[in-house]
């Protein structure tokens, strides 16, 4: 189902909607998998308490705080260090097609490899949500291995709300992969999902 996109201001003017803000933290990497396959970029997502993949962030009440202040607060609880997200980091807002009366706001923030590694350490060592609402940070494999390994396998997992679409559009927006690579990864992932009869993204999730 197509999602209804809008600007940040249009989203804030909507009455009767909840607002969820999530951020893709990412950066360049010089590491090589098995010493030969370039990782190129680190992109962080997380395994949530419900077993679904999603981005760090959460619900924000705009009558109490700005979207970005709320997102920064949620981030601190989930990754254990202060990461300031601003209006300039906003990428898109849309009505979620899988969670009723929810507007999801997507942010992207580029960081250094050292900062991202520190976040991964702090998420385990000092984040209050670790082992509770968040089971762990995960890196998105952006490469392709034989028989669907890498990004296609990753995309065939189950994602909360529209986080899979947010991931794909952020990867496109930041030019971390080409349009052709993204199309091919999605094609292979859909083939795997059909084969394994995974749950469909169109079904509302209980956690909405
Ligand atoms: O990564 C995400 N992208 C888009 N929507 C998301 C994402 N993660 C969750 N959601 C939706 C579905 C959830 O019910 C709401 C609230 O998110 P959550 O992170 O669970 O927020 P709280 O910790 O409950 O504040 O947003």
Domains for the chain: give ranges and CATH numbers: 4-196 (3.90.79.10)
Token pair for 74: 């949620």
Reported in sequence order, the residue ranges of 63-189 that DSSP labels E, i.e. its strands, are 90-95, 102-110, 134-139
Ligand 1 and 58: CB distance under 6 A: yes
- Two structure tokens written together for 76: 């601190």
Q: Residue with the nearest Cα to atom 8 of ligand 1?
A: 54
User: Which tokens belong to 9?
Assistant: 């201001």
Query: Which pLDDT value is given to residue 204?
Result: 54
CA 192–ligand 1 middle distance (angstroms): 25
By the 8 A CB rule, do 105 and 21 touch?
yes
The string of DSSP codes covering 46-72 is: EEETTS-EE-SEEEE-TTTS-HHHHHH
- Residue-wise pLDDT for 107-156, tens only, equals 999 999 999 999 999 999 999 999 999 999 999 999 999 988 999 999 99
* 99 within ligand 1 shell (Cβ under 6 A): yes
- CA 104–ligand 1 middle distance (angstroms): 8
Q: How confident is the model at residue 86 (pLDDT cuts 50, 70, 90)?
A: very high
Q: Say if ligand 1 is within 6 A of residue 165 CB.
A: no
Q: Is the pLDDT of residue 7 over 70?
A: yes
Residues 6+ apart with CB under 8 A from 81: 118, 119, 122, 126
Do residues 116 and 44 lie in contact, with contact meaning Cβ atoms separated by under 8 Å? yes
Please tell me the distance between residue 34's alpha carbon and the centre of ligand 1 in angstroms.
Answer: 34
Residue 55 CA: which ligand 1 atom is closest? 1
End-to-end Cα distance, the chain: 17
The answer, yes or no, to whether ipTM is higher than 0.90 is yes
**Is ligand 1 within 6 A of the CB of residue 162?**
yes
The H or E element spanning position 44 is strand 41-48
* pLDDT of residue 71 exceeding 70: yes
Q: What is the DSSP letter of 87?
A: G
**Ligand 1 nearest-atom number relative to CA 45:** 1
Task: Say if residues 69 and 58 touch (Cβ distance below 8 Å).
Answer: no
Q: What is the reported pLDDT for 24? A: 98
Q: Does residue 178 contact residue 72 with C-beta atoms inside 8 Å?
A: no
pLDDT, average across residues 148-174: 96
pLDDT reading at 98 higher than 80: yes
Nearest to 135 by CA among 35, 10, 50, 206: 50
Q: Whose CA is nearest to atom 14 of ligand 1?
A: 208
Distance (Å, whole) CA 162 – CA 193:
17
The finding on whether 57 has its CB within 6 A of some atom of ligand 1 is yes
Could you read off the pLDDT of 20-34 as tens digits, one per residue? 999 999 999 999 999
pLDDT at 198: 46
How much distance in Å is there from the Cα of 38 to the middle of ligand 1? Answer: 31
């Amino acid at each position: 189902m197509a999602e209804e996109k809008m600007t940040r201001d249009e989203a804030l003017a909507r009455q009767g909607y909840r607002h969820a803000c999530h951020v893709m933290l990412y950066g360049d990497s010089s590491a090589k998998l098995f010493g030969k396959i370039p990782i190129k970029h680190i992109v962080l997502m997380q395994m949530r308490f419900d077993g679904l993949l999603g981005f760090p962030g959460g619900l924000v009440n705009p009558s109490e705080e700005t979207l970005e202040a709320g997102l920064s607060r949620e981030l601190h609880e989930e990754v254990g260090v202060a990461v300031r997200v601003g209006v300039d980091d906003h990428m898109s807002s849309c009505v979620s097609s899988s969670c009723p009366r929810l507007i999801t706001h997507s942010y992207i923030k580029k960081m250094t490899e050292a900062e991202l590694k520190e976040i991964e350490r702090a998420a385990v060592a000092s984040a209050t949500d670790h082992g509770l609402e968040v089971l762990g940070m995960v890196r998105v494999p952006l490469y392709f291995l034989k028989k669907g390994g890498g990004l296609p396998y990753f995309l065939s997992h189950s994602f909360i709300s529209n986080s899979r679409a947010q991931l794909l559009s952020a990867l496109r927006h930041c030019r971390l992969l080409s349009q052709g690579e993204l199309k091919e990864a999605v094609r292979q992932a859909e083939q795997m999902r059909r084969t394994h009869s995974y749950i469909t993204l169109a079904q509302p999730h209980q956690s909405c």
